[in-house]
Amino acid sequence: KNQVEQSPQSLIILEGKNCTLQCNYTVSPFSNLRWYKQDTGRGPVSLTIMTFSENTKSNGRYTATLDADTKQSSLHITASQLSDSASYICVVTPNNNAGNMLTFGGGTRLMVKP
């Protein structure tokens, strides 16, 4: 069964600090992996998307890494800001004829405190 597991479930950090969120998946065959940021009560907003051949991708203070061999991804947030407080969701797309059937992780709820 295709699964995406994220850790930690929740995280509290101080403003200005860095943090790393983890995503492990069992989806196979694999097409791409996306990280989304979701503010409470709002729709997910895409941060990064990576195919199996990409190891790292950055978007401002967000840097995602991917190890397709171990089926692990991480999202590193640098110099956190209060506005980074949100849920971060790892989403994996299988490479099959079903097309675009995304598998969602449970998310990491990040709180950045002043």
| Backbone φ and ψ of 87, nearest 5° | -95, 140
Q: Tell me if 51 contacts other proteins by CB under 8 A.
A: yes
Least Cβ distance, residue 37 to other proteins (angstroms): 11
Name residues whose C-beta falls within 8 Å of residue 63's C-beta, 6 or more positions apart in sequence: 56, 57, 75, 76, 78
Q: Tokens for 96, please give them.
A: 């099959």
Distance between terminal CA atoms of the chain?
41
Q: Tell me if 105 contacts other proteins by CB under 8 A.
A: yes
Least Cβ distance, residue 79 to other proteins (angstroms): 26
Give Cα 67 distance to the centre of its chain: 13
Q: Tell me if 52 contacts other proteins by CB under 8 A.
A: no
Contact segment (CB under 8 A) with other proteins among 11-19, 21-29, 61-69, 104-112 equals 104-112
Q: Tell me if 29 contacts other proteins by CB under 8 A.
A: no
Among 2, 22, 24, 32, binds other proteins (CB under 8 A): 32
